[in-house]
């Protein structure tokens, strides 16, 4: 599934007649999602909370608000906004790995190919669903098929089309472990369940775990930036 990718560059070059020397630059904060720019950290944190954007970078900018380079990506974070409206994803076609930080995403993206530097991706979160799933029982709620292992149940889900959540073919589906501080994500439901169950090895037969399911737009906005070079 391939979307219509759009590229945005965060670097705003100063006009030649208004060129700024390094000593003329100010440390400011720029939202990683909408490029809102401000001088005060508290103002940026208020913006992140109000607009449900999860991070902002520290940047060097001119007095006229022209960003020259990024000092530190995702310098400020708002964890309450993770995966709420917009998600940070690897922009490589076919990867779509989720991140809570633009910095980690950019590092990951560069590992695909050396030329993939100084960029990260953004996608809209269409639907977020949290479902409770049994820790010990592997059974299909739709038809009653039961098996001993989650991989076998995963194959049943794939072949039969039965799923314990709503399928959205027009979206990219990702499955997240909310119990990991890094929000481990998976592109298959059964693999997410296998991982999450590792957090609850001592759970009883009737216990359940939460699986966060994201339905994401397939259209990635690629954000390019100019890093600071000392």
pLDDT in tens, 112-125: 987 777 899 999 99
Q: What is the pLDDT of residue 8?
A: 47
| Residue 20 sits in the same domain as residue 118 | yes
| Residue 63 sits in the same domain as residue 158 | no
| Residue 120 sits in the same domain as residue 131 | no
| Residue 139 sits in the same domain as residue 99 | no
Q: Is the pLDDT of residue 18 over 90?
A: no
| Residue 17 sits in the same domain as residue 116 | yes
Residue 230 pLDDT class (50, 70, 90 cuts): low
Which of 5-19, 52-66, 120-134, 145-159 is the least confident region? Answer: 5-19
Q: Is residue 1 part of a domain?
A: no
Question: Beta partners for 123?
Answer: 87
- Kindly write down the DSSP assignment for every residue of 12-46, as one continuous string: -PPPGGG---GGG-EEEEEETTT--EES-HHHHHH
Q: Is the pLDDT of residue 193 over 50?
A: yes
Look-up: residue for tokens 């990219």? Answer: 172
> Which residues make Cβ contacts (< 8 Å) with residue 82, sequence separation at least 6?
54, 100, 183
Q: What is the pLDDT of residue 109?
A: 94
Q: Which domain holds residue 137?
A: 127-216
Q: Is residue 182 part of a domain?
A: yes
| Residue 27 sits in the same domain as residue 120 | yes
Q: Is residue 201 part of a domain?
A: yes
Query: Taking Cα atoms as reference points, which of 112, 105, 111 lies closest to residue 225?
Result: 105
Q: Is the pLDDT of residue 13 over 50?
A: no
| Residue 44 sits in the same domain as residue 121 | yes
Per-residue tokens: 153 = 């149940």
Q: How confident is the prediction for the chain on average, in pLDDT? A: 88
Q: Is residue 230 part of a domain?
A: no
Instruction: Write down the H helix ranges in the chain.
Output: 41-51, 102-112, 150-160, 189-197
Q: Three-class SS of residue 166?
A: coil
| Residue 113 sits in the same domain as residue 38 | yes
Number of compact structural domains in the chain: 2
Mean pLDDT, rounded, for 54-70: 92
| Residue 107 sits in the same domain as residue 15 | yes
């Amino acid at each position: 599934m391939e979307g219509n990718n759009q590229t945005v560059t965060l670097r705003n070059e100063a006009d030649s007649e208004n060129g700024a020397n390094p000593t003329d630059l100010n440390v400011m904060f720029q939202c990683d999602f909408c490029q809102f720019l401000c001088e005060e950290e508290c103002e940026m944190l208020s913006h992140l909370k109000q607009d449900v954007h999860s991070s902002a970078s520290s940047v060097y900018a001119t007095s006229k608000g022209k960003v020259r380079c990024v000092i530190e990506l995702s310098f400020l974070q708002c964890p309450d906004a993770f995966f709420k409206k917009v998600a940070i994803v690897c922009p490589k076609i076919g990867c779509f790995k989720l991140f809570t930080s633009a910095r980690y995403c950019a590092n990951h993206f560069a590992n695909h190919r050396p030329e993939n530097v100084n960029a990260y991706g953004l996608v809209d979160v269409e639907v977020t669903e949290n479902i409770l799933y049994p820790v010990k029982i592997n059974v299909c709620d739709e038809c009653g098929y039961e098996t001993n292992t989650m991989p076998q149940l995963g194959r049943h889900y794939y072949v039969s089309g039965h799923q314990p959540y709503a399928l959205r073919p027009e979206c990219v589906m990702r499955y997240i472990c909310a119990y990991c501080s890094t929000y481990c994500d998976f592109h298959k439901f059964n693999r997410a369940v296998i991982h999450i169950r590792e957090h609850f090895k001592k759970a009883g037969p009737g216990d359940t775990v939460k699986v966060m399911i994201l339905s994401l737009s397939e259209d990635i906005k690629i954000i390019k930036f100019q890093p600071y070079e000392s």
